[in-house]
Homo-oligomer: A and B are copies of this chain.
Amino acid sequence: MNKKTSLKDIAKKAGVSTATVSYVLSKKENSGISKQVSQKIRKIAKELHYRPNQIAKSLQSGKTFTLGLIVADISNPFFAHIARIIEDEAKKHRYSVIFGSSDENAAKSRDLIRLLANRQVDGFIIAPTKDSQKEIQLLKKQNIPFVLIDRHFPKIDTDYVGIDNHKAAYNATSRLIGTGNSKIGIIAYSTSLHHMQERIRGYRSALKEHDIAGEDTWIGKVDFLNVKEEVRGAMDRLLRGPQAVTAILFATNTLAAHGLKYIKESGIQVPEDLSVIAFDESDAFDFFYCPVTYVKQPLTKMGREAVKILTGRIADPEKPAQQLILDAKVIVRKSCETSATRLPIS
């Protein structure tokens, strides 16, 4: 029906070549074409509602001005928020963003990366899943620009933006110790992903530093596939028996949300019975009956820098990889205040 109008249509109507039209419509103000012809062409272009076909431009230029964003789940507020920041920063550089959710699944992640690579995105921002080292290596070998966010593989030298997870977990745990807790648990994902390992390591370091002999049972591991149930199971284990903990560090917002629900339902009193600190941010932390202390990641900076590093790499594929490790901030609230009485669940 209503075919889109192309340079050719304009050229035909104006009685000139498509080259002339292209020069007029793409060049700023100069370059060879007479005022008369220029104006005529511009007029016709407007009449026909000409809109340049970006696909054709991309084919010819080899640039799509599109960034691929791959996260675990775009509906997770953590990633949704980052996505928004990336969108805004990308726009400043004239890029659009095409996204995909990997669900922490390496195969999905691989498929997404390939799909978007075929679509010739100019670069990727990726929160990689476990077991995707090979795919990341491949991107690197193919010289496709990308930046990892949130997680990375320390053995692969790549661009990366994230926080110092060890330090963040260390600080959070230290806070719990400082307010009088000596039995402290952590609930984390059961994954080899480095950021998660670092959070656990930071937790352990803090215990060790304060001469607390941590128990293995204090570390609750949760699989991505069955979060709700496994968080509850882990909480049960942490809060039971003679070594029951009096404080818990949740390694992500999702883990915390489930944990807090459990706490609420079991009638456990925070901070009297249990101190709590969580990673990330959530409405849940504000609205929980006792405002939850949390480890706030500098999302804005992370998103912006990721885009900057990526555009930098697109501009210069040869420059050395850059790892940007930011500090997270512990926002202290009531959920980890000192308390005298500590009652393990019987």
Contact = CB atoms under 8 A, between A and B. Distances in A.
A118 B51 contact: yes
Contacts of A133: none
Contacts of A53: 59, 118, 120
A119 B287 contact: no
Interface stretch (A23-31, A92-100, A195-203, A206-214): A92-100
A266 interface: no
Interface in A1-53: 1-2, 4, 49, 51-53
Nearest to A52: B118
A143 B1 contact: yes
A283 interface: yes
A195 to B, nearest CB: 21
A264 B291 CA distance: 11
A52 B49 CA distance: 32
A286 interface: yes
A2 B318 CA distance: 12
Nearest to A68: B96
A49 B96 contact: no
A130 to B, nearest CB: 21
Interface in A84-143: 84, 87-88, 96-101, 114-120, 141-143
Interface of A: 1-2, 4, 49, 51-56, 58-59, 64, 66, 73-77, 80-81, 83-84, 87-88, 96-101, 114-120, 141-143, 257, 260-261, 264, 282-284, 286-289, 317
A59 B53 CA distance: 9
A137 to B, nearest CB: 13
A62 B53 CA distance: 10
A29 B322 CA distance: 46
B49 A55 contact: no
Given A80-B80, A97-B99, A288-B287, A317 B1 contact: yes
Nearest to A117: B51
A119 B84 contact: no
B73 A84 contact: yes
A119 B96 contact: yes
B87 A54 contact: no
A74 B66 contact: no
A118 B75 contact: no
Given A52-B118, A77-B77, A88-B101, 11 more contacts: A1-B143, A2-B143, A54-B120, A75-B81, A77-B80, A83-B99, A98-B99, A257-B283, A283-B283, A283-B284, A284-B287
A332 to B, nearest CB: 19
A227 to B, nearest CB: 15
A217 to B, nearest CB: 28
Q: Which 3 pairs, one residue from A and one from B, show the smallest C-beta to C-beta distance?
A: A80-B80, A75-B84, A287-B287
